Amino acid sequence: MALISIHQICALFPATNCNDHLSHSRVPPSTAAVRAVPAAAILRSRFSNREREEVMLSSLDRVGRSFSLSCSASTAAVEEEEKEGNRSGVGVFVMMALDSVTMGNKVNRRKAMEVSFQAMKGAGVEGVMVDVWWGLVEKERPGEYNFGGYEHLLGMAAKYGLKVQAVMSFHQCGGNVGDSCTIPLPKWVVEEMEKDPDLAYTDQWGRRNLEYLSLGCDNLPVLKGRTPVQCYADFMRAFKHNFNHLLGNTIVEIQVGMGPAGELRYPSYPEQNGTWRFPGIGAFQCFDKYMLSSLKAAANVAGKPEWGSTGPTDAGHYNNWPEDTQFFKKEGGGWNSTYGEFFLSWYSQILLDHGDSILSHASSIFKPSSVKISVKIAGIHWHYGTRSHAPELTAGYYNTRYRDGYTPIAQMLARHGAIFNFTCIEMHDHEQPQDAQCSPEKLVRQVKLATQKAQVPLAGENALSRYDEYAYEQIVRASREMCAFTYLRMNTQLFEEENWRRFVGFVQKMKEGKNGHRSWEEKKKQQVERLAPNLQSETNLFQRV
């Protein structure tokens, strides 16, 4: 009964596409296990007037409390294990909706959020991941920060005993498939980019990408007298000042955004306006004047000034495959030449330098507290089986059949004690189009070896929304070497009855780890049966609204 009742939470969430910030994949219909929810219709029928809305929200509050009670025994057992130091599992965090805080700096769907937090806590979820958008907080003027909505949201998490992974989101939201809202960069940043278009990443055809500032201008005072890196540092410093009382207890992790979708990479596969489609190889993003200036300086140092005038122009288009291009083809491709080694070394190294610079500031700002710092790396698994690994190269990861591109990233993170957060943990090789030589499982294994070599903690995320046991089992297997896992994402579909039941079981398996506790169903049976009459009455009340 508890599962049926908590399903009603979905009526308060908008029907959205949930595949936010994807590392792309194709999932067979047989494994998707997703049913559509007519949320809009529910909202129209039940929110016909203010009185009905208040009655329903009141009912949901009571349902949430009842659900939490039904789960309390298992949660208490896990907490007891933590106190005794016996816990060997992995805590699960859940990503919140991208628009959890509105453009007006208010908590979005606050009542539904509260009930959802109760349900998450009752299910044994460790905490939630929250995007703290630069474009919301420092929206109007440089140096003026409004954390109002986040104060309420993080306060709610603390109230229900949920921990928080706070993402310093210095990128734009919107324009990619699955983005359920649009949150641009701060207004004053956009104004500067309009004055100087070269502040944006640029491809060889002159296409500008406004998702994130070009790292070529990282250390130039192009933003009202400040450098981009100074702006990122000032933002993090303001966040610490505002939430210092929650750092280390409620806020346990700061994930530092470093590129599009918050990932340390170039915007080489932009989906806006259909520019890129899976599984295209993407395109190099080094043609703004600041990046070209850096390339020219590197070429002069290498004694090859002729290599500094432009990036590769024979690397194909966004939707080509490696063998369609001169630069990425397996035999005689430019990627495996002396010039290719020079260019790819420079292209990947300045990305590492970008991450290193921002992490230096993040470490000095947050390290006095016990909060952890993490960085997200994209799971680019398509064309992984080719020699050149073209999509990884255009994204800035110098990883080929003959070169390990992930150990240098892990070593950079290790210098700052940061966590290596990686996506596509839920994927199986055979689910992906084999003509594109996709191999997420081999990629995950390579990343695990890199983090072990560098002695840096590894955390994971699922790249796509999945609700099926097959994906959950893959995550549980992969989690043995992980310090945490973040599930994408809190939405309508997650709260469907069968999806929620499977998710709760998955959370329990993750928390159990190697201890092999009794199944979730066994632990809950008596509590659910005892509470069934109360929960049934709540459901009936909901249905009458």
| DSSP class per residue in 356-389 | HHHHHHHHHHHTTSS-EEEEEE----TTTTSSS-
Using only C-alpha atoms, what is the Rg of the chain?
24
Q: Which residue has the tokens 């219909």?
A: 29
Residue 171 is labelled as binding a ligand: yes
Contact residues for 139 (Cβ-Cβ < 8 A; gap 6+)? 103, 146, 186, 187
Q: How far is CA 510 from CA 110, 127, 309, 514, in A?
A: 29, 14, 51, 9
Question: Does the annotation list 324 as a binding residue?
Answer: no
Query: For this structure, is 114 an active site residue?
Result: no
Please give the Cα distance from 410 to 448 (Å, whole number).
Answer: 10
CA geometry: angle 333, 337, 341, nearest 5 deg: 115
Q: What is the DSSP letter of 403?
A: B
**In this structure, which amino acid lies at residue 516?**
G
498, burial (CB in 10 Å: exposed 0-12, middle 13-18, buried 19+): middle
Exactly one of 211, 271, 392, 461 is catalytic; name it: 461
Three-state SS at 263: strand
User: Active-site residue among 211, 263, 271, 496?
Assistant: 263
Distance in angstroms (rounded) separating the CA atoms of residues 462 and 379: 10
3-state secondary structure 408-469: HHHHHHHHCCCEEEECCCCCCHHHCCHHHCCCHHHHHHHHHHHHHHHCCCEEEECCCCCCCH
Residue 489 marked in a binding site: yes
Residue indicated by tokens 């596969």? 269
Rounded distance between C-alpha atoms, residue 479 and residue 444, angstroms: 11
The tokens for 126 are: 């460790």
Residue 92: strand, helix, or coil = strand
Q: Which residues pair with 403 in a beta bridge?
A: 400
Q: What is the DSSP letter of 328?
A: T
- What single-letter amino acid sits at 512? E
- Both tokens of 472, joined, read 């959950």
Is 376 among the annotated ligand-binding positions? yes
Q: Is 131 annotated as a binding residue?
A: yes
106 three-class SS: coil
Closest CA to 475 of 514, 432, 516, 423: 423
Tell whether 179 is in a known binding site: yes
462 is in an annotated binding site: yes
| Known catalytic membership, residue 263 | yes
66 in Cβ contact with 538 (< 8 Å): yes
Q: Write out the catalytic residue numbers.
A: 263, 461
Q: Residues marked as binding for substrate?
A: 131, 171, 179, 376, 381, 423, 462-463, 489
